[in-house]
Amino acid sequence: MSARYEKGSIVLTSNKHVRDWPEIFAGDEILTTAILDRLLHHVHLVHIDGRSYRLRELDRLLEPQAPGASPPPERGGEIKKT
């Protein structure tokens, strides 16, 4: 983190809310605060609601299809930039 801080972009994805991050870092709130301080400075947060693309694709592939039928259309999720 320190090597990239204010020198280049970082793309980070998580399925955990920021408030749950201390438990990810072994309950170390000081470490978590330091990491979040750097991550959230100059941040562009994109919050995505909806089912995982991988799980949606799996559902689509598992749906029964008639012989010769085309696959069902993609179902989009909602993307919000906050």
| Residues 41/72, Cβ–Cβ less than 8 Å | no
| pLDDT 10s digits, 66-78 | 677 666 565 555 5
Does the residue 39 lie in any domain? yes
In a domain, 37, yes or no: yes
- What is d(CA 56, CA 62) in angstroms, rounded to the nearest whole number? 10
Residue 70 domain flag: yes
- In which element (H, E) is residue 40 found? helix 29-40
- Would you say residue 7 lies in a domain? no
Q: In this predicted model, what pLDDT tens digit does every residue of 5-36 receive, in sequence order? A: 788 888 888 888 888 888 888 888 898 888 88
Among 46, 41, 35, which residue's Cα sits nearest to residue 9? 41
Total domains in the chain come to: 1
pTM over 0.85: no
Does some domain include residue 57?
A: yes
